[in-house]
Amino acid sequence: MKNRSKRWLALGLSAGMILSLYGCGGSSSGNDAASDAPASQAEQTQADTKADSAAGTEAEQAEKEEPSIAGTNIEMTTRMAADTGIDVLKELIAEFEAETGATITLTEYPINDYNSMMKTRIAANDFPDVWETHGESKVTYGEYLMPVNNEEWYDKETDLAKGILTGGGDEAYALMINSAVAATICNKTAADAAGVDVYAIRTVDDFKEACQTIIDAGLVPMADDAAADLFGQFAGIYTCYPDAPAQDGESILNGTWDWESFVPLLQFYADLLDMGAFWEDASTITIADSLERVASGKSVFLFARTTPRFMSLVELNPDNEYVMIPCPAVSEDAKQYCVGGEDYAVGIWKDTEQPETCRAWLEFLARPENSGRIVSVKGGIPTLTDCAFEKTMPVQAVEDMMERYPDLVYNNMWSREYLGALGMWGTFGEAAGKLFTDHSPENITAIKDFLKEAYDERYEAAYGE
């Protein structure tokens, strides 16, 4: 099956200026005596007709106005956390409530468990009114969501966003505020001090060589914990991207994949573990630990991570320079990739009892100043053409990467593109924990078998008759 990759396009944002023209109403003075004279019967009748017409117009207009949503309540689920923008979301909710008189009950779920918890609620027919679709508005949630193509804000979605939202089809099911960007986050200050030019890293062999140089300088190159990101983002460079060693895209999608082409990715991390490129406690550390080690310069790289981590690094240590580089290419002849897709995107349950409140909430989020606040904390690529955002370090890092790597290819996240309906993110996290605990050849085979078994079971559950 042909992989649906999109060549990276630099997205320019232009500020629109709205000019309001006010006409000056002129006044003419007639004869004072004439103006004081009683109106004729005809004039009075004409005046009454105009008054009746105006009253009728006002009544018609009132009928056309949307009913008030004051007093209504909707539930929204979120995966945002303290380091990924929850405070901004809560501020926006408070402002929406003050403006409309409606209320939003916010239900917070852990990031790594979000999709599984949403799927549990769907299976129980317990739907929130609005939820963050987390990259799966069409693949996983499309049958439960309200189409949004006719919303006024949808015309402001960029072509990149519309392509992701429709997935090659016709209907979109979410407001998409920004596109995620996952690549390699670097503490360039620490890399320079260790004698590594991060921009000279092109292939996986280059990456390993850079790691060895950093080790020789007394640092631990990789600060990553045993995260699902390491397995769920860039597997396509080995398994199915156009220049990958294996072309298993069709078998992954039709349920016949044997997972052998995933083994080189496991081996890539095993090689890094062998050379001491990860911390010894990588199987147990938290992302907070990882961020602290990069911010302090004890480590250089966070691999396969999205831009919100930049914000945390800057807050922890603003004196360092942090940059983003692509995933290393699998060979000299292969392209470099960056992955993403929906980042902050929100959809409406098609059977909600409060559709007008839900639609008003999405319209509120889509306003230039409000979408801009989300982009400023989330980073990535703004996907609303009138988004008014502060160019924070994560946003600037993405723009710099696009400019520095004009041939970079942007793909939907591999795990979403090929395994989205199977909900294997948690399984990837388990597999990463297994590898970081034991990266022997025997255990690599065992991990491959573990992933295949989970894939077979989930594929049967999703598509079996």
Confidence of residue 405 (pLDDT cuts 50, 70, 90): very high
- pLDDT of res. 143: 94
Residue range 125-135: mean pLDDT, rounded: 95
What digits encode the pLDDT tens for the residues 154-201? Answer: 999 998 899 889 977 899 999 999 998 889 999 999 999 999 999 999
- pLDDT of res. 304: 86
Structure tokens at 199: 């921009």
Distance CA 310, CA 26 (A): 58
Residue range 374-383: mean pLDDT, rounded: 88
Structure tokens at 365: 């989020």
- pLDDT-above-90 percentage for the chain: 64
- Highest mean pLDDT: which range of 61-70, 129-138, 257-266: 257-266
Mean pLDDT of all residues in the chain? 85
Is it true that 68-176+344-378 and 181-340+398-463 share their CATH fold? yes
- Highest mean pLDDT: which range of 43-57, 279-293, 358-372: 358-372
- pLDDT of res. 65: 56
What digits encode the pLDDT tens for the residues 435-446? Answer: 999 999 999 999
- pLDDT of res. 26: 31
172-173-179-180 Cα dihedral, nearest 10 degrees? -130
- pLDDT of res. 52: 53
Structure tokens at 195: 């004698």
Asked if 223 contacts 190 with a C-beta cutoff of 8 angstroms, the reply is no
Confidence of residue 378 (pLDDT cuts 50, 70, 90): confident
- pLDDT of res. 8: 36
Question: Cβ of 290: how many Cβ atoms within 10 Å?
Answer: 22
- pLDDT of res. 46: 54
Residue range 271-277: mean pLDDT, rounded: 97
Query: Which CATH class, in words, describes the domain spanning 68-176+344-378?
Result: alpha beta
Is the per-residue pLDDT at 6 higher than 80? no
Is the per-residue pLDDT at 394 higher than 90? no
Read off the pTM: 0.76
Domain ranges of the chain: 68-176+344-378, 181-340+398-463
What is the distance, to the nearest Å, from the Cα of residue 245 to the centroid of all Cα atoms in its chain?
Answer: 29
Is the per-residue pLDDT at 58 higher than 80? no
Asked if 187 contacts 299 with a C-beta cutoff of 8 angstroms, the reply is yes
- pLDDT of res. 148: 97
Q: How far is CA 37 from CA 42, 103, 176, 230, 349, in A?
A: 14, 57, 64, 88, 64
- pLDDT-above-70 percentage for the chain: 86
Is the per-residue pLDDT at 36 higher than 50? no
Confidence of residue 39 (pLDDT cuts 50, 70, 90): very low
3-state secondary structure 305-339: EECHHHHHHHHHCCCCCEEEECECECCCCCCCEEE
Q: Which CATH number fits domain 181-340+398-463: 3.30.930.10, 3.40.190.10, 3.30.70.2190, 3.30.70.2740?
A: 3.40.190.10
- pLDDT of res. 308: 77
What is the distance, to the nearest Å, from the Cα of residue 430 to the centroid of all Cα atoms in its chain?
Answer: 23
Residue 50, burial from CB neighbour count under 10 angstroms (0-12, 13-18, 19+)? exposed
- pLDDT of res. 465: 58
- pLDDT of res. 146: 98
